[in-house]
Amino acid sequence: MKKKIVLLLSSAFLVFTFFAGILSDNGKAGATGSPGENNCTQCHNTYAVNSGSGSIVITSNMTNWEYVPGQTYTITVTVAQTGKSLFGMGFEALQSSGANAGTLTPGTGTTSKNATVAGNSRKNIVHTLNGGASSGSHTFTFTWLAPASNIGNVTFYVAGNACNANGSDTGDYVYTASQVVTPAAVGIDEVELDNAFINAYPNPFSNELRLQFSVNTTSKVQITIMDLAGKIVLNKTEVKSSGTHQEILNVSDLKEGMYIATFAIDGKIYSSQRVVKK
């Protein structure tokens, strides 16, 4: 009798464990195909990545894939393949260093998970169990809060899974995509706002780039120059008293080409413009 009770309890425990595992079977972090990561074919390896007839597409309400610091954008990821009935995905927003860029917030059918890659704890938006159950395609919707300041280019990485819902990792197709998002240019040569007047000259420049500006109160002023790949080539931060100031930047070491010069006061960007080294 005791043996039967033990067997029944053991069986009940195994059944509970099995279903508990299923109920917590959300997507995995760190499988978007971004630098340093694998993609979903590490487990769903019946077919090579992007070898099927389906697709994965990233869309957003931002204009021309340009972000304004501090703005929140709606991101959608659509995974599609005829004949499939269950879809999953993993999504990241990364700086060129591999660290997180901005803040991702999950929506319906998604949740967030973290994966540590090359020393960076990367936040992922992943599907929840059966969160992508639909016929032929599924669209996942969530939001991205852009970084508070101009950090250069941001890259979205996503991997999607078109599944046959057979309860295993076999017979599924994996698709990957990426999208580069650039900082929006919010000024030309001069910007006048409540707290500052900024004038960058000459443009094009050669060995020196001058910034003339005024602040109404004592403020932390940050001047950043980055190349079009998002790499910061000059970064200068100083506390300035109220009044008019001029900064002369030695840029003789820069290669010829186009750069983005950003001027921020107390963490708020007042000017972000394209300048040319001749």
Torsions phi, psi for 10 (to 5 deg): -65, -40
> What is the C-alpha to C-alpha distance for residues 10 and 239, in angstroms, rounded to an integer?
68
The boundaries of every CATH 2.60.40.2550 domain in the chain are 190-277
Q: Tens place of pLDDT for every residue, the chain, 278 residues? A: 544 444 443 444 333 333 333 334 788 999 999 999 988 887 888 899 999 999 999 999 998 899 988 889 999 999 999 999 999 999 999 998 999 999 999 999 999 999 999 899 999 999 999 899 999 999 999 999 998 888 889 999 999 999 988 777 888 999 999 999 998 864 433 344 444 556 778 888 899 988 888 778 888 888 888 887 778 899 999 998 888 888 899 999 999 888 888 888 887 777 777 788 88
CATH number of 190-277: 2.60.40.2550
**3-state SS class at 79:** strand
Q: Which residues of 63-93 are buried (b: 16+ CB within 10 A; e: fewer)?
A: eeeebebeeebebebbbbbeebebbbbbbbb
The boundaries of every CATH 2.60.40.680 domain in the chain are 25-183
> What is the C-alpha to C-alpha distance for residues 136 and 118, in angstroms, rounded to an integer?
36
28 Cβ contact partners less than 8 Å away, ≥ 6 residues apart = 40, 43, 90, 113, 115, 126
Query: In angstroms, how far is the first alpha carbon of the chain from the final one?
Result: 91
Identify whether the C-beta of residue 132 lies closer than 8 Å to the C-beta of residue 89: yes
Give the HSE-up count for residue 94: Cα atoms under 13 Å, Cβ half-sphere.
27
CATH number 2.40.50.100 given to 25-183? no
